[in-house]
Amino acid sequence: MRPSRILLGIVAVLNLNCGRLPAQKGDPGMPESPWELRLSVSEGLNLRATLHNRTKVPQTYLRPSKIQPLELILTAPSGERVAGFDTRAKAKFDNTVYREMYRQAAPGSDVTLTEASLDPDHTLRWGPFLFANLPAGTYHAQAVWRSETNQYYDPKSKRTGVVKDVWIGTVTSNTVEFSVQ
C-alpha cells in the first residue's frame, strides 16, 4: 500500500440511535418515522448510508437523487463543520418528480441510499456534494435524510398526482468517526 494513499478506517462508530427517534416534528400531528437511517464506515467501501424500514409493512420513498439528496454533516478535526460544494448549483437538470422515481422497501429491509469514498486528492463525493482537499485528521460524519414530497408529475395527463403512504419528515443517522491520512 502506498503511503500517499488515503486510508479511511474505523476509529470509532458512535451509535447515537438518532435514527430510532421520532421524526423532527414541525407538525404536532406528524407520525413517528417508519425509517431508521444508518451510517457506517468500512475500509473497503468507506461511507455508506442505509435506510432501514423498521415497520411490518412496505414503505414508499422517493429515491435520493439530485432532487432530494442525502445531506452529509461533516465535522473537521478542529470541531468546525466542513462545508461541501453542492454541484447542482452549476448543473442544469430536470428537477421534475415523476411517479417512477418512487421506490418501495419491503418490511424490515435495508436500502442503500448513498455510498462514497475518498479520492487520492482527499476529496469526498457524497451524492451531489463535494468535500474537497480534506486535511489529515479525525472527522465525524452524520447523514440527514429529508422526505419532502409525495407528489409527482404525470406527463401523459399533464397533471400532478400524489403517492399515498409516503411518510414526510426528517431522519438523522448515527454519527461515525473516521480518519483521513
Q: What is the mean pLDDT of the chain?
A: 83
Q: Where are the domains of the chain?
A: 10-180
pLDDT digits (tens, 9 = 90+) for 30-58: 568 999 999 999 985 589 999 999 999 99
115-120 mean pLDDT: 90
* Least confident window among 10-14, 62-66, 94-98, 110-114: 10-14
**d(C-alpha 11, C-alpha 99), whole Å:** 41
**d(C-alpha 172, C-alpha 158), whole Å:** 35
The three three-digit cell numbers of residue 136, written as one number: 489529515
Residue with cell 404536532: 28
14, pLDDT greater than 50: no
pLDDT value at position 88?
87
Question: What pTM was computed for the model?
Answer: 0.80
Residue with cell 422526505: 147
| Greatest extent of the chain over all pairs of C-alpha atoms, in Å | 58
**d(C-alpha 22, C-alpha 170), whole Å:** 9
pLDDT value at position 44?
56
pLDDT value at position 41?
95
More confident residue, 3 or 93: 93
**d(C-alpha 112, C-alpha 43), whole Å:** 17
Question: Exposure pattern of 78-109 as b/e (b: 16+ CB <10 Å)?
Answer: eeeebebeeeeeeeeeeeebeeebbeebeeee
pLDDT value at position 72?
96
